Amino acid sequence: MKNFFKQIALVTLALTLLISLGSCEATKNANNKQKGAVIGATGGAVLGAILGNNIGKGGNGELGAVIGGVVGGGAGVLIGSKMDKQAQKIEQEIPGAQVERVDDGIVVTFDENSGVYFDTGKYNVNTASQALLDKLAGVLKEYPDTDVLVIGHTDSVGADEMNMTLSKNRATAVTNYFVQSKGLSSGRFTTNWYGETAPIADNTTAEGRAKNRRVNLAIVPNQKMKQDAQKQAGE
């Protein structure tokens, strides 16, 4: 994943592109195979699915893993097809999860309503969540040519520092479960955390806080998938 990391200037650029891309209904409604060819090198929309309308002040600075990696042309069409199939497989295996196809990536969101959750103030992956993560691990094994960014979030209850640490521990716990318990390669994973700084819902309501207590997984094509697609497309 380190090969994907970009300079901080790319983060700013990608977030600017995110605003314009997210407002385009044609892009939102496009077939994902087409999106691979149309969006080209813009990127950045994955950030919107993970962070909502917030940049956040936390994290470990590794969002470059999903920035600037969108492939256009014929290779983009091939990658889009593969990622479509993987997203459909995740939806079949995990009906409760929120699965979004964004650019070349797949964003999976787990909250208290979708099967993977943590007890209050805790970060261990409980038994109820393990069964769901086992299914997702199976899909990741079936599609090995992808990298995974795991991001933890909390609601606004409690001190900022405590929530930042809690979101870090929860994201790390999910990553460790995939690697240590399910045998997936650690090189595929990057872990990030944002505490309470990137809400996607209203923290003044119980329903909103439940949505904000979440873990996102951004699944993106790795270099091998990109190179194979470019060779196949003759690019």
What is the tens place of the pLDDT at every residue in 82-106? Answer: 999 999 999 999 887 889 888 888 9
235, pLDDT greater than 90: no
For residues 75 and 228, the answer to whether their CB atoms sit within 8 Å is no
Exposed (0-12), middle (13-18) or buried (19+): which is 60, by Cβ within 10 Å? exposed
pLDDT band, very low/low/confident/very high, at 216 (cuts 50, 70, 90): confident
Cut 0.85: pTM above it? no
For residues 118 and 170, the answer to whether their CB atoms sit within 8 Å is yes
Of 108-112, 140-144, 194-198, 206-210, the one with minimum mean pLDDT is 108-112
pLDDT band, very low/low/confident/very high, at 121 (cuts 50, 70, 90): confident
**Domain 2-233, CATH 1.10.3720.10 — does that match?**
no
For residues 178 and 133, the answer to whether their CB atoms sit within 8 Å is yes
d(CA 49, CA 81) in angstroms, rounded, equals: 20
Q: pLDDT (tens digit, 9 = 90+) per residue, 16-59?
A: 333 333 333 322 333 333 333 332 233 467 766 777 655 444 44
Domain locations in the chain?
A: 2-233
Is pLDDT larger for residue 75 or for residue 178? 178
Phi, psi of 107 (to 5 degrees): -110, 120
pLDDT band, very low/low/confident/very high, at 145 (cuts 50, 70, 90): very high
Q: Is 120 helix (H, G, I), strand (E, B) or coil?
A: coil
Residue 156's pLDDT is 92
For residues 194 and 59, the answer to whether their CB atoms sit within 8 Å is yes
201, pLDDT greater than 70: yes
For residues 221 and 138, the answer to whether their CB atoms sit within 8 Å is no
Q: Which amino acid is at 148?
A: V
118, pLDDT greater than 50: yes
d(CA 142, CA 137) in angstroms, rounded, equals: 9
Picking from 12, 19, 16, 21, the residue whose alpha carbon sits closest to that of residue 61 is 12
H helices then E strands: how many in the chain?
9, 5
Structure tokens at 137: 């691990």
Q: CB atoms < 10 A from the CB of 230, how many?
A: 17
Among the ranges 64-68, 93-97, 229-233, which has the highest mean pLDDT value?
229-233
197, pLDDT greater than 70: yes
Contacts of 105 (CB under 8 A, 6+ apart): 46, 66, 83, 218, 219, 220, 221
Residue 52's pLDDT is 65
Share of residues in the chain with pLDDT > 70 (%):
71
Residue 102, H or E segment:
strand 98-102
